[in-house]
Amino acid sequence: MENRGSAKRVAKLLRPYLYHIVLALICMVAVSGLSLILPWLVKEIIDKVLINKDLRMLNLICLLAIGIYFLKGVFSFGQEYLMAYVAQRVIFDLRSKLWRHLSRLSLSFFVRERGGEIISRLTNDISMIEQTLTYGVVDLVVRSVTVIGIIAFIFYINWELSLISLSLLPLTALLIDKYSKKMRKLGRSVQDSLASLTTIVSEVIGAIKVVKAFAASDKEVQRFEEANLRSLRVSLKGAKLRAFLSPLVEIVAALSTIFLLWYGGRKVIAGKLTPGELVAFLGYVAFIVTPLKGLSGIFSRLQQALAALDRIFEVMDLPLEVPEREDAMVMPRIEGEVVFDNVSFSYDEEPVLKGINLRVKPGEVIGVVGPSGAGKSTLVDLIPRFYDPTEGSVLIDGVDIRRVRLDSLRRQIGIVSQETVLFAATIRENIAYGRPDATMDEIVEAAKIANAHDFIVKLPNGYDTIVGERGVNLSGGERQRIAIARAILANPRILIFDEATSALDSESERIVQEALERVMRGRTTFFVAHRLSTLRNVDRIVVLNDGRIVEEGTHDELLERKGLYWKLYILQGGNGGI
Mind spelling out the 3-state secondary structure of 478-505?
HHHHHHHHHHHHCCCCEEEEECCCCCCC
Question: CB neighbours (10 Å) of residue 296?
Answer: 20
Q: Output the pLDDT for position 1.
A: 44
Q: DSSP string spanning 336-381?
A: --EEEEEEEEEETTEEEEEEEEEEE-TT-EEEEE-STTSSHHHHHH
Residues, the chain: 578
Question: CB neighbours (10 Å) of residue 128?
Answer: 24
Q: Which of 179, 176, 152, 146 is nearest to 166 (CA)?
A: 152
Q: Which residues contact 42 (CB under 8 A, 6 or more apart)?
A: 276, 279, 280, 283
Q: Which residues contact 517 (CB under 8 A, 6 or more apart)?
A: 537
Tell me, rounded to whole angstroms, the distance of Cα 245 from its chain centroid.
Answer: 33
Query: What is the dihedral sign for C-alpha 313, 125, 77, 298?
Result: negative
Q: Which of 203, 289, 297 is nearest to 250 (CA)?
A: 289
Q: Output the pLDDT for position 344.
A: 92
State how far the alpha carbon of 265 is from the alpha carbons of 108, 143, 151, in Å: 73, 28, 20
Q: What pTM value is reported for the model?
A: 0.65
- Render each residue's pLDDT in the chain as its tens digit; 578 residues: 455 566 677 778 888 888 888 898 888 888 888 888 888 888 888 877 777 777 888 888 888 888 888 998 999 898 888 888 888 888 888 888 888 887 777 777 776 766 667 777 777 787 777 777 777 777 777 788 888 888 888 888 888 877 877 776 666 666 666 666 666 667 667 767 777 777 777 666 665 645 654 556 677 778 778 888 887 887 787 777 777 766 776 777 677 777 778 888 888 888 888 888 878 887 777 777 677 766 766 776 777 777 778 788 888 887 777 778 888 899 888 888 999 999 999 887 788 899 999 999 998 989 999 888 888 888 998 998 888 898 999 999 999 999 999 888 888 888 887 777 777 788 888 888 888 888 898 888 888 888 888 888 888 888 888 876 655 667 777 888 888 888 888 888 888 888 766 555 566 666 667 767 777 777 898 988 877 777 777 889 999 998 899 999 888 888 888 888 888 888 876 654 44
Helix (H) or strand (E) holding 66: helix 55-104
d(CA 114, CA 532): 33
3-state secondary structure of 323: coil
Q: Output the pLDDT for position 358.
A: 92
Burial of 255 (0-12, 13-18, 19+ CB in 10 A): exposed
d(CA 533, CA 575): 12
Which of the 8 DSSP states describes residue 53?
Answer: T
Q: Are the C-beta atoms of residues 149 and 207 closer than 8 Å to each other?
A: no
3-state secondary structure of 525: strand
Q: Which of 527, 553, 563 is nearest to 369 (CA)?
A: 527
Question: CB neighbours (10 Å) of residue 76?
Answer: 18
Q: Which residues contact 242 (CB under 8 A, 6 or more apart)?
A: 183, 296, 297, 300
Q: Which of 280, 329, 370 is nearest to 552 (CA)?
A: 370
d(CA 49, CA 43): 9
d(CA 455, CA 170): 77
d(CA 499, CA 368): 10
**Residue 138: CA atoms inside 13 Å, Cβ hemisphere, count?**
24
d(CA 483, CA 422): 8
Q: Which of 292, 281, 288 is nearest to 160 (CA)?
A: 281
d(CA 303, CA 293): 16
Q: Output the pLDDT for position 340.
A: 93
3-state secondary structure of 573: coil
Q: Output the pLDDT for position 203.
A: 65
Q: Are the C-beta atoms of residues 357 and 542 closer than 8 Å to each other?
A: no
Q: Are the C-beta atoms of residues 401 and 394 closer than 8 Å to each other?
A: yes
Domains of the chain from N-terminus onward? 2-196+231-316 (1.20.1560.10), 363-386+402-571 (3.40.50.300)
d(CA 174, CA 214): 56
